[in-house]
Amino acid sequence: MVNAEPEYNVHRVPKRDLVPSLDAVIQRDCLETGPACPLQDDLNSEQAAFDFSICKSEQESFRASSGHNDLICTLMLAVWWAERPRQGKAPM
């Protein structure tokens, strides 16, 4: 369950809640970008290099072997926003 704390239209969402949202959308094959997306190659590289794990002590680990994960984190946040439960509405 998402533990977002709305405060003055600000949400604090842990990465551990963002990663599964993106993973689910990718697995359902629901993620598309336009053919003219100028950052498509960079996004693909970041996605391939991004690693998420939770060890036995519940410690989270987020790594990008390329050193950059700005685009993938932005995409995770956008997917979470689109998929979040809303009062009276089903997720997209």
Among 86, 91, 71, 85, smallest CA distance to 28 is for: 91
- pTM over the 0.75 mark: no
pLDDT value of position 62: 65
For residue range 32-68, what is the model confidence (pLDDT) as tens digits?
A: 888 888 888 888 888 887 777 666 666 666 666 666 7
Residue 24 pLDDT > 70: yes
Better pLDDT: 2 or 72: 72
Q: SS3 helix, strand, coil % of the chain, rounded to 5?
A: 40, 15, 45
Q: Domain residues of the chain, as ranges? A: 15-83
